[in-house]
Structure 1
Amino acid sequence: MQKPRKLLDGLLVLDLALFLAGPYAALRLQDLGARVIKIERPDGGDPCRDLYKTDGQTVSTLFHAINRGKESLAIDLKAKAGRDAFLALVAKADVVIQNFRPGVAERLGLGYEDLCKINPGLVYASISGYGPEGEWAHLPGQDLLAQARSGIMWLTGNADQPPVPTGLAMADIYTGANATQAVLAALVAKGQTGMGALVETSLLESMIDMQFEMLTEYLNGGRQAPQRSSIANANVNAPPPYGVYQTRDGWLALAMNPLRKLAEVLELPGLEPFFPPRRLSTAERDDAKRLIAEQVATRTTAAWLSVMEPEGIWCAPVLDWEAMLQEPAVRRLDQFGSFESTTGLAVQTTRPPMRIDGQRPSTDRPAPDLGANNLALSQEFGLALEAVS
């Protein structure tokens, strides 16, 4: 089978970022063919190396997955030798990604204005928690904290629940994706003008953007705070049946469906008072959902699917990971792969969620040991550095 095209082959990316958002952006560029050198401090490297470690692991599987295919250069950016080495790489780089707190890169002499003097064609991506300036700029920028400050926690869960965060690092991953988009756009512009650009995004901006649908309704609808359903809440603006309902043996998701048609399929004439064009209050929305929930609970998930799908009802079973992984439709996507770490550990993870010319980008190279490439990079780029033991 022909190997996937590496669209960013020849591109050099310097990844100064820590934890998830910045490294995720660099990972996506690596997946598309860029060469990524991860710049780490010699005393421990990226803290992500120790994040979520299980017993017996020297480096976390998360670090292995998000830094696969990269090289590691361990240098002290506060020392002259390390800073000189980094600036030598900057002169030949296409992209720099960093997620220091605002002002830190500038104090180190590694801000955009400093580096573009060395390399005017440099695309410089700066990721922060809450933007480059303002009252929150100095505060710790972390996924859960950005979710908390963005208002998004009031959209999830039912009305009687406290604020509910997402169960994963959504702010980090979405911010990394936003940074990748902006970097690629800047690279296209560079191809036309020869000039680089400063690309900035933040966890907070990404979480606000994630809510553009709800915030647009709020800003243009009299600024009425959205009301979560007291039952089966899944979208604060969506009318019934939108939500997740318990069946006799599991759970069933119901999306946008004409209520009249759904009432026929459910054999539920009690829904008639809620039919359009009547505009439902929050209480009426919940009353309709309660009727639906009571009826859905009378049959198994498979039984409802066998009735609903032929009638064109938008529905889906709610799968856990084990069930999802067994589904032929998921297996056909071939989105999971594995590679062997430098310690011999088989790391299973997801592959990029896109195809190019029918091929999914992939790499067999593991995440690097701390400073593993110091000697080779010193020789290649003429850096005055020693190997890291």
Structure 2
Amino acid sequence: MNQVQSMFERMMSVSLVLRIVIGIALGTLIAVASPATAGSVAILGSLFVRALQAVAPILVFVLVMSSIANQKKGQHTNIRPIVTLYLLGTLAAAFTAVALSFLSPVTLSLVTEGASATPPEGIGEVLNTLLFRIVQNPFEALLDGNFIGILAWAVGLGVVLQHASDTTKDTLRDLSDAVSSIVRFVIQLAPFGIFGLVANTLASTGFSALAGYAHLLAILVGCMLIIALGVNPLIVFLKTRQNPYPLVLRCIRESGVTAFFTRSSAANIPVNMQLCKNLKLHEDTYSVSIPLGATINMGGAAITITVMTLAAVNTLGIQVDIATTLILSVVAAVSACGASGVAGGSLLLIPLACSLFGIPNEVAMQVVAVGFIIGVIQDSVETALNSSTDVVFTATACIAAEQSGSTVVSGQKAQA
């Protein structure tokens, strides 16, 4: 028993990224050497997908409710324009993802046998479905996996509980931490699930599936590079009328590179706080905006949710119009604001966006599993974009406030 425990601890000490790479390599090897064996290990992938399906609704509900309930009020900071930039950047990321997905549609190799999607006939049906999903009983929403209803109840309860006692808020925070710990445990099992998924997928569909994954990864990373090096600098320039690239490139270098390897916006908060201090921003501002940004400034997550959802839509042959994709962009941006701070957290919100198109959770969770397969690169780039943008927009708002003579920033100008 002690030997098994010691072996498990040694295995857990290896980085998750390396274990996922090993899982992909072993799954590929099994699929090539023994397709029959690959079919027998498919249960590992099925169990992993089912575990994700079980934990995702609770995670969204508790995390968003706790985050909103614990937001502090009454602090004299320059937060409002920063939050506006956060939301604008996240929405712009979702729009960019839609545009690139239409220019280069992605399809995936998914097991869709027995899964019946009910595509909407138009924008009216989408809005009608959206409204009725919002007002569903919260317990039914959790049982049915109705992520839109879950998100609506989480936001509503979070706003009301802002007036609750500190004890209640601490309890919510502890509950959020507990659920996040369970999610971390499930994600630690990702290498085993991915091993089974890769082995079964390659054995049944061949290596053509890898081409689909490469195409998907190219679209995701391409969108994130466009946001980091094109859209964000444009927003900074429009706000400050200064050359944005010294600031943007410094934030990518000093924040993005670290976040790329930690793969956690929450873990990168101390790095961002120090960078803001080096930029001579006002402490009362960045001490609030940086932790807040790690929660709601999720442009990379919005890209992941949008691209992966449209990949599922294309795979099932569902036709969508422009108006519906605009709603998808808004839903992706809003749900991205509730993305978990753990690695791969944005992937667990994909079913919420998929539900707009009548895609069953069984198919949506397969898309989530595909996200974990490419997550070695996707999640690292996503986190780098999210975390570096926190500092970019905080510094942008502070520079703009100084230019207008605001007293919220320090007397020294933030030098990029």
Same fold, TM-score > 0.5, yes or no: no
Q: Which has the higher contact order (CA 8 A, sep 6+)?
A: 2
Which structure: greater helix fraction? 2
Which structure: greater strand fraction? 1
Q: Report the TM-score range of the alignment, normalised by the length of the smaller protein.
A: under 0.3
TM-score w.r.t. the length of structure 2 is: 0.24
TM-score w.r.t. the length of structure 1 is: 0.25
